[in-house]
Amino acid sequence: MKHLKFLSRTVFVNNNNVEEACRVLNRVLGKEEIFDQYRRTRYYEKPFQVRRRINFEKCKAIYNEDMDRKIQFILRKNRTEPFPGQY
Amino acid sequence: MIISTNFLLNKSHNLLRVLANSISTTSRCLKADDRKQLIASTPRKDQGTEGEKTIEIDQLIQKNKIDIFPDENTPNAIFYDMPFKELPIVNIRVSKNNTILSLTNSKGVIQMIRSCGVEGFKNTRKGTNIAAQATAITFCGKVIDRGIKAARIVVRGLGPGRMSAIKGLQMGGLNIVSITDTTRVSWSGPRPRKQRKL
């Protein structure tokens, strides 16, 4: 589907606050990895560099997932036993 | 943890350097290291992507977040006595070395064009945020002379002029209705040029 020009990637400016609108737009595009892909395609990325990058991203994702789980575990509420391992 | 390992690495490098100076060999290896350190230490160029990696808590708290984005009624919504689809467009083409601004009507017919080079900035000075801002301010004056009060903005590309051109348009007195990004990004495009040797 073709993206319509003034519907996708568009942000309105409220109360003449241009900077905030720009920041919102930039954050959305950064999160969608559009800027990353743009920067990556300025120069050819050799296959070994692609492999390295993707492996790094995989490792980072695994680490982040585990760390999130750990944080959730520490922050959990309504524990049946509030101080496990202590009597 | 990272700091301490870096520190140790630096220490060992310095030790190597002393040795190399006394024996006067392996200077070539150290030269490559120096180059890498120099590149790592130079500040990154501003690409006009402010707010790309930061999260603002004030914005998250705000409830009326949705009216910042367009919906199906947007083309007929009225801004400054004109429907959105009939507002003139200011296109900003940003690249590493230049910034080009052009004014088109709602159908896309170009009416005026101006760039940092035309403004009087030459060579590397073209690709700075100051040049972009100055160009945007003079461009804006000419746009207002035509009787245009409000416009939509379309930005394409990343570069130092990205944010400052928009800021310049605002400073010049043009009412900005919306900001659109049309940076061309492809996930399966043709093979780009080879990497620069640094």
The DSSP call for residue A56 is: H
pLDDT per residue, tens digit, chain B (198 aa), is: 444 445 555 555 555 555 555 555 567 778 778 888 888 888 877 777 777 777 766 666 665 666 788 888 888 888 998 999 999 999 999 999 999 999 999 888 999 999 999 989 998 899 999 999 999 999 999 999 999 999 999 999 999 989 999 999 999 999 999 999 999 999 988 999 999 887
Which segments of chain B belong to CATH 3.30.420.80?
72-181
Q: What integer pLDDT is reported at residue B15 of this predicted model?
A: 53
Mark yes or no for CB contact A21/B68 under 8 Å.
yes
Residues B194, A45 contacting (CB under 8 angstroms): no
Cα–Cα distance measured from residue B63 to residue B67, given in angstroms and rounded to the nearest whole number: 10
pLDDT digits over A18-70, tens only?
988 999 899 999 988 999 999 999 999 999 999 999 999 999 999 999 999 99
Q: What integer pLDDT is reported at residue B2 of this predicted model?
A: 46
Q: Where are the domains of chain A?
A: 11-43, 44-77
Mark yes or no for CB contact B167/A18 under 8 Å.
yes
Q: What integer pLDDT is reported at residue A55 of this predicted model?
A: 97
pLDDT digits over B13-23, tens only?
555 555 555 55
> Chain B neighbours among A 12-31 (CB < 8 Å)?
12-14, 16, 18-27, 29-30
Residue scoring higher pLDDT (A48 or A17): A48
Mark yes or no for CB contact A12/B181 under 8 Å.
no
Is the CATH number 2.60.40.10 carried by domain B72-181? no
- Please name which of B106, B101, B96 lies closest in space to residue B157, comparing C-alpha atoms: B96
Which residues in chain B are closer than 8 Å to A25, comparing Cβ atoms?
179, 181
CA B77 to chain centre: 29
Task: Please tell me the distance in Å from B174's CA to the nearest CA on chain A.
Answer: 10
Q: Which of B49, B55, B175 sits opposite A35 (nearest CB)?
A: B49
A1 pLDDT more than 60: no
Cα–Cα distance measured from residue B135 to residue B142, given in angstroms and rounded to the nearest whole number: 11
Residues B180, B152 contacting (CB under 8 angstroms): yes
